[in-house]
Amino acid sequence: MGKYQTFRTSKVSFLIEKRTVWISLILLVLCIVAAIISAGSGGQPISPLNVIKVLLGGGKPMDQVIIEKLRLPRIVIGVLVGASLAVAGAVLQGIIRNPLASPDVTGVTEGASLGAVLFIFLFGGAVSIHWMPLFAIAGALLMTALLYVLAWKRGVEPLRLVLVGIGVSAAIKSVSYMLIISGPMALAQRSLTFMTGSIYGTSWDKDVMTLLPWVLILLPLTWLQARNVNIQALGDDVASSAGARVQRQRLLLIALSVGLAGAAVAIGGAIAFIGLMAPHIARKLVGSSFGSVVPVSALLGALILLVADVVARTAFLPNDVPAGVLTAAIGAPFFMYLLYRNRNRS
């Protein structure tokens, strides 16, 4: 017994770091605790014990309705959105090799927002909301394609990608604002909430069922790519001399990251800084091997969003502040800390 546990079948074999397993378990427990607190708090408080009773199928009928119809979908969405954003950020940081990169800094979320805002304005309530992720992902993809083309100069250099992203996202954002202004006020409120990021008022069939398939497909796929991310992290020259097809793998990885971010934004809106924070904390906890970073950042992302949502909707009662405001309020100081930490990195 060493640091690693080996799994072997006739086709595949892989190593699992024990530390990662332990940390994941602890985070899982924390997530469950946060979920129980989240299910119990709000305008109609329910004690943790009663929450657990409801979850196990008992409890008072009133509590059942509140938890199962209103609060549980919100929690599930929080977990899915947080995990997707975190993994999307982990992938970007891995391939851009810049710890400051994340879907919000490079403008991928802005693109997804624009797609979703367009959807709200073009179809209002006329078309089923199930199509919204498609629009958001399309927006994120177009944005990324644009970024890729604009930043391409004999290959895509990470830093140029980030800089171009900042510029393009500013323009995209102002186009979103213009749409919001030109439309009716009711849609404006909805769109702006969306651009800030909130998991308010989510439901089982509309939101959870829309997002779940995307997460279930993309998250494991990303995990399978862990090897390639690890190689990319060594730098373009080393990676290509190790036999990696750097540009092609990078394209695939970016596509995965965009898919995750786009799907998450479609449901949760542009919740900021989770994609930045979670992977960092994950790397601090389990090191930089991507196979460990993916599950741990997913759990961390879920945890951060759950906690942010509980605080945002209880601390300012009767106002239900969008969770995105709170993640930004924690995220920006974190970003500054990162800049300070990396001050001597060129």
Residues 178-197 that bind another protein (CB under 8 A): 178, 180-182, 185, 188-189, 192-193, 195-197
Q: Is 150 in the site for another protein (CB under 8 A)?
A: yes
What's the closest the beta carbon of residue 38 comes to another protein, in angstroms?
19
- Binding to another protein, residues 235-274 (CB under 8 A): 272-273
Contacts of residue 5, defined as CB under 8 A and 6 or more positions apart, other chains included, come to: 15, 16, 17, 18, 21
**Window contacting another protein (CB under 8 A); options: 16-24, 64-72, 81-89, 169-177:** 169-177
- Per-position b or e across 31-45, b if 16+ CB within 10 A of its CB: beebbbbbbbbbeee
Query: What counts of helices (H) and strands (E) characterise the chain?
Result: 16, 2
Based on the shown chain and the rule CB under 8 A, indicate whether residue 329 belongs to the binding site for another protein. Answer: yes
Position among 127, 171, 216, 217 found at the interface with another protein (CB under 8 A): 171
Q: Which pair of structure tokens corresponds to residue 113?
A: 């927002």
Cα torsion through 255, 248, 278, 196, rounded to 10: -30
Our CB check for another protein shows the closer of 3 and 343 to be 343
The least CB distance from residue 88 to another protein, in Å, is 16
Cβ at position 166, least distance to another protein in Å: 5
* 114: contact with another protein by CB under 8 A: no
Q: Which long-range contacts (CB under 8 A, 24 or more apart) does 280-289 make?
A: 280/93, 280/99, 280/334, 280/338, 282/86, 282/90, 285/23, 286/17, 286/19, 286/20, 286/23, 287/17, 288/233, 289/17, 289/226, 289/230
Residues that bind another protein (CB under 8 A): 100, 104-105, 150-151, 153, 159-160, 162-164, 166-168, 170-171, 173-175, 177-178, 180-182, 185, 188-189, 192-193, 195-197, 272-273, 316, 319, 321-322, 324-325, 327-329, 331-332, 335-336, 339-340, 342-346
